[in-house]
Structure 1
Amino acid sequence: MTSTQSNRPRVNSPEPFAPRPRPGTPAHLLESDEEAVAIAQRLAEAFSREAAERDREGYLPTDEIDQYSQSGLWGLNVPREYGGLGASYSTIAWVTSIIAGADSSIAQIAHNHLSLVSHIAVDGSDAQKRELFGLVLQGYRFGNAFSELHSRTVAEFATTVVEDGDEVVVNGEKFYTTGALLAHIVPIVAVNGAGQAVLVFADRDAPGLTVVNNWSSFGQRTTASGAVKLDNVRVPKSRAIVVTAFDQQTAAGAISQVIQAAIDVGIARRAIDETIAFVREQSRPWIDSDKATAAEDPFTIQAIGDLKIRLHAAEALLERAGHRIDAAVASPDEASVALATTVTAEAKVLTTQIAIEATNRLFELAGTRSTLQQHNLDRYWRNARVHTLHDPVRWKYFHIGNYYLNGINPPRNAWN
């Protein structure tokens, strides 16, 4: 156990978890997409050093998340007219995959923040954009209080919001709240009296808002994606935004999905790298191969080639999806949004496949000694298996086929 981590808070701990301090200095202001990629590569190198230990011991990545948001990368998609970089979504996907390769939990914690920035751009008033985008550029992090554990479907909500003078009051309970524990602001999805979904941006330390550190999944362990309880939480009405993104022709769903897909491709890429390194340095050749090293085994060579082809195909579709999303954001209409959604679904299918395949074949190709706990290589499979459950790819095939065969556009929601 390293001294840098031994005193850190852990996941699924009964200990109270105080809100993280607000940033004392503004986040770095990015100047180009190229700079963003370079910063992501530098952070990924640092984040990867203790990623295995964080996963094994359940240490929350508190310092890493502070570094990540202060780097400016959490402001990647703040529009230029509001002081941000307005980066291409192909860049955002690539940056996310770089971070996910180092620690997929850290990448997932940022996912909802980036998606929410895109929602503000679509649904917020000019005043709300100036306030909330300004906070992002200061280094503030948005969490997530979206899904509910006991609803009939993921899109149904029992959490309510009512107006009371210059404030709104929120009551309910959420689960799968990735990012909320370490956030400065927790955006809550609640339903108003008219049946509309409303995004309410509550301060993390608002009275009545409790984040419960009870995430216990076998994968994505350090996302702290537990519960948020809301007991008469009061928020200024100016921070309540009615969600219309899915009632309009917008790329909101595709934006959320392309970031999810990027996390999976990052896991896959790193798992393949780990497989290659282990085969080269530690695995033994199989006795029937008559080879001096495991790296000379012809079937292992073939398998690595196959994995690399599948990875590069997934990366290519991910980049293509990012460009289609850029086009839909610039000129949103039925055709551009449907194409962006479909192409993103295609990418999601391949990134899911390669994440599961690469993390599973790691052990087949590297051999039994790769399963020793000291390596903790199973975290890649555990993380891929859990993260790819976010939305079932079996429905992606259906929507993709229906689009190309019957000209039926895919539905617009956060899972498409």
Structure 2
Amino acid sequence: MSTPSTYLAEPTASDDGLFAVFRPVFDKIAQGNLKRERGRVFPHEQVRWLADVDFGTVRIPTAHGGFGASLQQTFALLAELAQADPNVAHIWRNHLAFVEDRLNAPRSDTNDTWIKRFLNGEFVGGGWTEANNVTLANLTTTINTEDDHWVVSGAKYYATGSLYADWLDVLGRGDDGELVTALVRRDDAGVTLVDDWDGFGQRTTASGTARYERARAERGDVFPASERFSYQAHFYQTAMHAVLTGITKAALRDGSTALTERIRNYPQGLTTVSAVDPQLLQVIGEVSADAFAAESALARSTATLDRIVEGRLAGDIPGARRRLIDAAVAVDQAQLVIIAAALSVTTRIFDALGASGVSERRGLDRHWKNARTLASHNPRVYKARIIGDWLINSTDPVADLASLGRGGQGN
């Protein structure tokens, strides 16, 4: 039963039903992945294919016109999309997060409009991180009232998905210095998007600079940042984990194919045929266990996000803080497991392949480059300490989430 004050509802989708809709599109996207990676071809068409089958509405309850998926199901879908193309999967991160925010928001005419926009296939991109190494504490982007609307001025980097978007989600300081987020139309005259992302991985996510020069935002499209959904940081981080999990499975898939296609083996090999060499089979078995660990960690951690929603639907306000902490710990633990697995698989798979594995024709290096790039967001070096400090000293692991800094859109 849905909570009357929000758009949230208990999940109703089945795994089989969801994959029946989306898997054919994922398979179609996978066909051109290597070619797009080689030529840095932006996947505008592939993003539109997903919009056309309403991928952006997967979390919207069926009563409101969506698929009614749980968070666990949503991130499993995102991981499979990442196995097909991790750039396309990452592009959807900001959109899915803003949908989640509106589902948690109070019902209103304004939010009814946003639900309709999602159902019409309108897509949200953007970024919160300031350009020029400005920190959140020194945020210089402004979102000020003017007559019957707002004006947005500033510059952002890591504007993931911006080149594909209809709307851009922008964080700035309001009239009184409070943090607010504004949704600005991508085609507004005051918006300039620059393709200057120069990372060696995730090269077609449009994660470059976005500039705003008195861009217009309507009254109903500006929201206090303090009112964004409570597990927002968990959501953004988990989207990264889903993409990394997909990369891990893709590297295992492509590495296994490459081993079966090897014609000869090294003189030191135990057999003349590589595909039956016990030591090479051991490599495949070990990296498959890493992929299994990543997928399992993703499933366990996303289940804790669903429990946050379940508690809200049940009206269990006293238990909300504990569920948020449980999710924070699980998501951080998942990050440690998934990044380790992704970097291990994308490196160790070459131990089963020999020199032929580094052929540009195969493009196996793209898996490591994409994994390493994603793993550099919100670095794992801090997460083990945060978990340990909670377990030993009961130091609150979500105390800093109010600042919207940890686990946000990019760092």
TM-score (norm 2): 0.89
Query: For residue 108 of structure 1, what is the aligned residue in structure 2?
Result: 90
Query: For residue 157 of structure 1, what is the aligned residue in structure 2?
Result: 139
Select the residue among 45, 49, 57 that pairs with 1:63: 45
Matched, 1:319 2:299: yes
Query: For residue 50 of structure 1, what is the aligned residue in structure 2?
Result: 32
Query: For residue 348 of structure 2, what is the aligned residue in structure 1?
Result: 361
- Tell me the amino acid that sits aligned with residue 268 of structure 1: T
Distance change >3 Å, CA 159–CA 183, structure 1 → 2: same
Matched, 1:401 2:392: no
Query: For residue 288 of structure 1, what is the aligned residue in structure 2?
Result: 268
Describe the superposition over 1:235-277 as per-residue Cα deviations: whole angstroms up to 9, x where unpaired. Answer: 111110111157x8x2221111111100000000010111111
- Aligned mates of 1:175, 1:140 — CA distance in 2: 22
Matched, 1:306 2:297: no
1:407 deviates by 2.3
- Tell me the amino acid that sits aligned with residue 362 of structure 2: H
- Tell me the amino acid that sits aligned with residue 173 of structure 1: A
How many equivalent residue pairs?
Answer: 385
- Aligned mates of 1:361, 1:154 — CA distance in 2: 38
Matched, 1:144 2:126: yes
Select the residue among 108, 124, 137 that pairs with 1:126: 108
- Tell me the amino acid that sits aligned with residue 317 of structure 1: A
Look up the SS of the partner of 2:175 in the other structure.
coil
Look up the SS of the partner of 1:220 in the other structure.
coil
- Aligned mates of 1:52, 1:154 — CA distance in 2: 36
Query: For residue 207 of structure 2, what is the aligned residue in structure 1?
Result: 225
- Tell me the amino acid that sits aligned with residue 220 of structure 1: Q
Q: Is the 8 A contact 1:317 1:347 kept in 2?
A: yes
CA RMSD of aligned residues (A): 2.0
Look up the SS of the partner of 2:164 in the other structure.
coil
Q: Is the 8 A contact 2:125 2:164 kept in 1?
A: yes
1:80 deviates by 4.8
Query: For residue 7 of structure 2, what is the aligned residue in structure 1?
Result: none
Look up the SS of the partner of 2:125 in the other structure.
coil
Describe the superposition over 1:340-386 as per-residue Cα deviations: whole angstroms up to 9, x where unpaired. Answer: 11111111111111111111122222111111112222111111111
1:194 deviates by 2.5
Distance change >3 Å, CA 395–CA 376, structure 1 → 2: same
Identity of aligned residues (%): 25
Query: For residue 242 of structure 2, what is the aligned residue in structure 1?
Result: 262
Q: Is the 8 A contact 2:293 2:341 kept in 1?
A: no
Look up the SS of the partner of 1:162 in the other structure.
strand
Q: Is the 8 A contact 2:280 2:351 kept in 1?
A: no
Distance change >3 Å, CA 197–CA 120, structure 1 → 2: farther
Structure 1: gaps (5+ residues):
1-29
- Aligned mates of 2:246, 2:261 — CA distance in 1: 23
TM-score (norm 1): 0.88
Describe the superposition over 1:113-168 as per-residue Cα deviations: whole angstroms up to 9, x where unpaired. Answer: 11111222335662332111210111110011311232343665211111112200
Q: Is the 8 A contact 1:254 1:340 kept in 2?
A: yes
Q: Is the 8 A contact 1:283 1:369 kept in 2?
A: no
Look up the SS of the partner of 1:143 in the other structure.
strand
Describe the superposition over 1:175-233 as per-residue Cα deviations: whole angstroms up to 9, x where unpaired. Answer: 11011111011111111133322111111111211111222221111112111110011
Q: Is the 8 A contact 2:248 2:341 kept in 1?
A: yes
Query: For residue 406 of structure 2, what is the aligned residue in structure 1?
Result: 415
Q: Where has structure 1 moved over 6 Å in runs of 4 or more? A: none
Query: For residue 77 of structure 1, what is the aligned residue in structure 2?
Result: 59
Query: For residue 279 of structure 1, what is the aligned residue in structure 2?
Result: 259
- Aligned mates of 1:56, 1:102 — CA distance in 2: 15
Distance change >3 Å, CA 191–CA 284, structure 1 → 2: farther
1:307 deviates by 1.3
- Aligned mates of 1:335, 1:153 — CA distance in 2: 29
- Tell me the amino acid that sits aligned with residue 326 of structure 1: D
- Tell me the amino acid that sits aligned with residue 244 of structure 2: D
1:234 deviates by 1.3
- Tell me the amino acid that sits aligned with residue 284 of structure 1: R
Select the residue among 326, 348, 352 that pairs with 2:335: 348
- Aligned mates of 1:227, 1:121 — CA distance in 2: 28
Look up the SS of the partner of 2:122 in the other structure.
coil
1:79 deviates by 4.2
- Aligned mates of 2:161, 2:250 — CA distance in 1: 23
Structure 2: gaps (5+ residues):
1-11, 313-319
